[in-house]
Amino acid sequence: MQTLSVTERYNKLFSELEDCDEDEQKEKIEKMNEVMDEMHEEELESVVTAEVFNGIYTMIEEKKLTLENSFLLLKHVGSSNALKSMSVYGFGNSSLGERFEEMIVEEEKKKEKRNEKLLIDLCECYLMLKDKFLFNLLSICVSCLLEVGLNKGEKEGDGNEVETSLLTLSSVGMLTKIPEELYLSEIKGIIQHHQDHHNLTPLAYQSAWQFLVNRLFLNGVLEKVMTDELHFVKKAKREMEEQSKCVDWKRKEEERGGKGVKEGIVLRRWLFTLFDFFFSCHLWDDEYSELVCCIVRVFLSAKDNHRKYSMRCIDLLKAASEKRAVKIGGLLKGGADDAVLEGIQQPTMDYEMAYDCLRFFMNVCDRLKSKDDEAGEAKGKGLKRKVVEKMEEEGYEDAITSFHEMIPFLNDEFCCELSLSIDDYFVNI
C-alpha cells in the first residue's frame, strides 16, 4: 500500500472535518497540526491557500465547524508560518479574512461587554495570517495582544497565552508603521519585567525583542532605547549563548529527523533578529562587536554538520559588511573575517555561500579603500594591515582567485553585482 505524502494526509484530514462532530473535529485538527509540523516550507505553502480559508469560512457559516476549532487550526497555521519565517497570502483575499476583520471591529465596539478571549483569538489569527493591515484593525490588535503580554505570565497557564501573543506581534513586519504611543511603553514593560523576574519563555522573550527590532526600521530613535535602557547587546548575547546549548552540534542535520524538529528554533530566530537589527541600526557602538562574536561562534559550531545555521551566519555577516553604520573594525574585532574566510574554504560550500563570502570581502576591501568610511588615517592603515596579514596567513589570495571565473555565474544566479575585477577583493597598505 502506497504511503500518503504529508500534504495528502493533511488534505485528507481537512476534507473529513465537515462530517465530524465537535469532539471528532478537534481530534482531527490536532492530527492536522501534527502533520503540519512535519512539513517543509514549500509543502506548507501548498496547503495554506485562499481556497482552504474559504472552505473554513463556509464550514463556519454552515455550522459545520465551530469558531473554537477553527482557531485551533488557524493559530497553528499562523505560528508555523511565524516560526518558519514565512508569509501567508491567501488569508487576506479570502472570505474568512474579511469576516474576521468585521468581527474584530464588532467585538471592540462592545467595550466593557466584549468577549476578551474571542477578541484575542481573532487578533492573533488576523496578525499572523494577514500581510497588510488596516490601521484601525492594527491598533486594536496590537493593544489587545500587548495587554495579554503585560499579564507577565504570572498566573498558571498564562505562559502559553503570553508566548502566542508575543509570537503574533513579532510577525508584524518592519514595513508596518505603528505609532509609538500604541506600543513602546508596553513592550518596554514586558521586556524589563522579564529581565528582572525571568517570567517569559525563551520564545516569548525573543518575540518581544523581534517586535521592537521590527519597529526600528521606521523609527531610528528606538536604537538608543533598545541599547541604553533595555541593554539589547548584552541580553541578545546572553540569550544566544543559552540557546546555542540547546542544539546538538555534533549530530548531522539529516540525522535529526528533519522537518518537524524544533531544536534550536529560538536560536534561529535570534539570528533573524540580529540580521534585522544590523540592517536597521543607525549608530555604532564598539560593544556591538560582541554580537558579531556570537554569530561567529554559532558559525564555528554549525559549519561541519548544520548547513542552514552556517549559511545564515555568513549571510548575516555579509549583510553587516554592507551597512555603513557597522564599522569594519567591529567586524574584524568580532572575528567576522576569520569566519567568512573559513566559510569560503568549506568543502561543502554551495553557490549561495560562495556569493555571500565574496560579497563580504568585496565590501570590506571597498570600505577600507574609502577615505570617509573609518575615522582616522592611522586607524585605517591598521585595519588594512590586519586584512593583508590575514590574506597571507590563511591562503586568502588563492581562495578568492579560485572563484574568479565563477563570479559572472554568481551574478546571474543571485541578480546582484559582484565585481568582475579581482583587485576589488584585495586591499593594499
Instruction: Please provide the DSSP assignment of 269-303 as one string.
Output: HHHHHHHHHHHH-----GGGHHHHHHHHHHHHHHT
Judge whether 53 lies within some domain.
Answer: yes
How far is residue 418's CA from residue 429's CA, in Å, rounded to a whole number? Answer: 23
Judge whether 103 lies within some domain.
Answer: yes
Q: What is the pLDDT of residue 223?
A: 95
- pLDDT tens for each residue of the chain, 429 residues long: 568 899 999 999 999 999 999 999 999 999 999 999 988 888 888 888 999 999 999 999 999 999 999 999 999 999 998 888 777 788 988 999 999 999 999 999 998 889 999 999 999 999 999 988 999 999 999 999 999 998 755 555 567 899 999 999 999 999 999 999 999 999 999 999 999 999 999 999 999 999 999 999 999 999 999 999 999 999 999 999 999 999 999 887 655 444 434 668 999 999 999 999 999 998 888 888 899 999 999 999 999 999 889 999 999 999 999 988 888 888 988 999 889 989 988 887 889 999 999 999 999 888 888 776 654 455 667 777 777 776 667 778 888 888 888 999 999 988 888 998 888 888 776
CB count, 10 Å around CB of 216? Answer: 21
Which three cell numbers mark 157? 497557564
Q: How far apart are the first and last CA of the chain?
A: 69
Q: Tell me the residue range of the domain where 67 lies.
A: 1-132
Tell me the pTM: 0.91
Judge whether 39 lies within some domain.
Answer: yes
How far is residue 308's CA from residue 310's CA, in Å, rounded to a whole number? Answer: 6
CB count, 10 Å around CB of 114? Answer: 14
CB of 104 closer than 8 Å to CB of 68: no
334 half-sphere exposure, CB direction, 13 A CA radius: 28
Indicate the DSSP class of residue 374. S
213 phi and psi angles, rounded to 5 deg: -65, -35
How far is residue 72's CA from residue 30's CA, in Å, rounded to a whole number? Answer: 8
Count of structural domains within the chain: 1
- Distances in Å between the Cα of 139 and the Cα atoms of 20, 142, 177, 183 are 37, 5, 10, 9
CB count, 10 Å around CB of 253? Answer: 14
How far is residue 176's CA from residue 155's CA, in Å, rounded to a whole number? Answer: 32
Q: What is the pLDDT of residue 302?
A: 93
Judge whether 366 lies within some domain.
Answer: no
Judge whether 372 lies within some domain.
Answer: no
Judge whether 192 lies within some domain.
Answer: no
- Residue type at 4 in one-letter notation: L
Torsion region of 395: left, alpha or beta (phi above 0 gives left; psi -120 to 50 gives alpha): left
Judge whether 19 lies within some domain.
Answer: yes
Alpha-helical segments (H) within 217-283: 222-224, 232-244, 265-280
